[in-house]
Chain A
């Protein structure tokens, strides 16, 4: 077990930011902490890192109790904080070298590691740039490089892709997967379900400081009753057809907006088949058709009754 959290409670006055959280991260995982803004992700991370005092609970990292003075634990953790933590007075290279230097004393080894980190985040052309001159996405990449250059066993990333364009974001996500392949255990927090779904092997969904579900994405989707969503592009929809779809065995909801027919089904077989058969036999003219499996957003929606993102 890399990280073990039991009964963690953190209050800010009357607000319970983290409410009785239990969490276990195994070696080699990419563990996702998914939750909307203010759900307590950062607070939980900061407690794990002993940056915050908490009201109750027990935290172990690498099997040892975590504390502010647990330097032998800290040396194997890489942290990429939600807010970019770099020095404006230092260049890209110097920044990474500084943070690496907090972990690695040997100069030549550090030089190698810093170069590797720069290559890893693709900042080779920006080594001599000062942070003020970097775009938001590049700055985030620098923030990541500063956190991972010392090759930590455990990497914690707190929303590293906030305010990053899709292209940079993909690069970052690919990078994280690569780090994981090279042996690092990763904890990744985000409020973007797509990201978490894309890279995480196990996911914990938080809301209002409480854990509402934990599991692989398949397990999470199993938890809910919703099955597939079928979208059909049609240009005309008679009421009789509409009634047929509405009365289909597994249908949950059917909506038509004059262009698209959106049908949601509970789990069950051959929903798509039935729809296609009906469309063909009644010679309904249709354009595109596609089906989607439930997303984590649907999971969140079904459990909490609200959208993950508003």
Chain B
């Protein structure tokens, strides 16, 4: 495997440069540990969702739902007009439209599983809390309905509301009990986005710069080694490099947040970072196929990683960024990585809306990876035909 071996040698030659970034990562991380604990990232300091609430019926069950939501939602008075609602969603006047259809209560009380109708802006954290609350309210209500045949709506409402109040307390307690170091893990994994993307872009481009050199390309195609074989070996080496960087960096992150490793969500942090590694790899491929020259490459690597890290909430929590910025950021995989970490930090169990949000954040990252890959194919096809 001459090409594979060559790639590894090229990586090896570039280790000093890479070490600088690894070093930077460690330095910043140590600074974070000694200086501050990012407590503001824990707990429920989330802004409320702006919900347009429409109900086609007015029953105690629905009233109870609305009451339970009040903690996480500001109800916005708005005309029930499709166009107005769309506009309001677009301009973020509201970020959630919740509609209770007719016969919802009746269906629910007979044991059916009617659905509320919702329209929401994707990617807003506060919406997840609304989803959580709705689910929790209805699930608890159903439990009472199943347990106590013939129970009245009023009864259900009061029971569920008091249960939920307690539950929240417990949840708060649980979160508080894990202490101030909660969020450290999230912090380090978020920061990984920056180091990781940079190192992978540099690594991949170092290889691609060598092999995309027209003279080397010509020389290689004089040999009996097919282009497919060469590309495959390059690909393999990049995969190995990605994996290696991931082990080192994820390992460092884990080490820095060593107290949190026993937590239930650790494995999801690791998984999310692996997915992000793959996505960064694919992005690097694309960049390397577009950019020529080492200096340009370093510049691009900086702009892309720093830029995307800033607006995606790597350095500043996403909650503090304006929605306009987040909207732009949502076109970047980094945003979904950070969001995935955010979801993981709230994760309590292997199901439910938070879990679903986490999974979708991961899937979206994989979608990006796939998209980058396809784009690279198109770009290199175009180049070849010139």
Contacts and interface: CB of A to CB of B under 8 A. Distances in A.
Given A71-B224, A71-B226, A102-B225, A89 B9 contact: yes
Given A98-B2, A98-B6, A102-B2, A68 B218 contact: no
Interface string A55-95: 00000000000001101101101010101110101100010
A34 to B, nearest CB: 23
B215 interface: yes
A74 B224 contact: yes
Nearest to A74: B224
A49 B223 contact: no
B210 A68 contact: no
Contact of A51 (B2, B10, B13, B221): B221
B231 to A, nearest CB: 14
A54 interface: no
B386 to A, nearest CB: 12
B64 to A, nearest CB: 69
Contacts of A69: 226
A101 interface: yes
B296 interface: no
B224 A102 contact: yes
Contact of A83 (B2, B9, B215): B215
Given A90-B6, A103-B224, A81 B210 contact: no
A126 interface: no
B27 interface: no
Interface in B221-241: 221-226
B221 A68 contact: yes
Contacts of A74: 222-224
A256 interface: no
Given A85-B215, A87-B210, A49 B6 contact: no
Contact of B2 (A49, A72, A101): A101
Contacts of A77: 222
Given A69-B226, A102-B223, A103-B223, A85 B2 contact: no
Contacts of A89: 6, 9-10, 13, 210
B6 A99 contact: no
Given A98-B6, A101-B2, A75 B224 contact: yes
Contacts of A83: 215
B174 interface: no
Interface in A193-222: none
A103 B220 CA distance: 11
A102 B10 contact: no
A85 B9 contact: no
A54 to B, nearest CB: 15
B219 interface: yes
B106 interface: no
B218 A85 contact: yes
Interface in B306-324: none
B84 interface: no
Q: Is the interface of A mostly helix, strand, loop or mixed?
A: loop
B216 A87 contact: yes
A74 B221 CA distance: 9
Contacts of B224: 71-72, 74-75, 102-103
B9 A90 contact: yes
Most buried by A among B2, B5, B9: B2
Contacts of B215: 81, 83-85
Nearest to B2: A101
Interface in A8-31: none
Interface string B347-370: 000000000000000000000000
Contacts of B10: 87, 89
Nearest to A77: B222
Interface in B1-58: 2, 5-6, 9-10, 13
Interface string A148-177: 000000000000000000000000000000
Contacts of B220: 102
A79 B215 CA distance: 12
Nearest to A69: B226
Interface in A37-53: 46, 49, 51
A85 B9 CA distance: 17
Contacts of B225: 71, 102
Contacts of B9: 89-90, 94
Given A89-B9, A94-B9, A101-B2, A79 B210 contact: no
A269 B236 CA distance: 72
A99 B223 contact: yes
A273 to B, nearest CB: 54
Contacts of A46: 218
Nearest to A49: B222
A94 B5 CA distance: 10
A162 B210 CA distance: 24
Interface string A264-306: 0000000000000000000000000000000000000000000
Q: Which of A69, A74, A75, A89 has the most CB of B within 10 A?
A: A89
A68 B220 CA distance: 12
A98 B216 CA distance: 12
Interface string B129-150: 0000000000000000000000
Nearest to A52: B218
Contacts of A51: 218, 221-222
A102 B224 CA distance: 7
Interface of A: 46, 49, 51, 68-69, 71-72, 74-75, 77, 79, 81, 83-85, 87, 89-90, 94, 97-99, 101-103
Closest 6 CB pairs of A and B: A101-B2, A85-B219, A102-B223, A71-B224, A75-B224, A74-B224
Given A74-B223, A81-B218, A94-B9, 6 more contacts: A71-B226, A74-B222, A87-B10, A87-B210, A90-B9, A102-B225
7 contacts: A74-B224, A75-B224, A84-B215, A90-B9, A97-B2, A102-B2, A102-B220
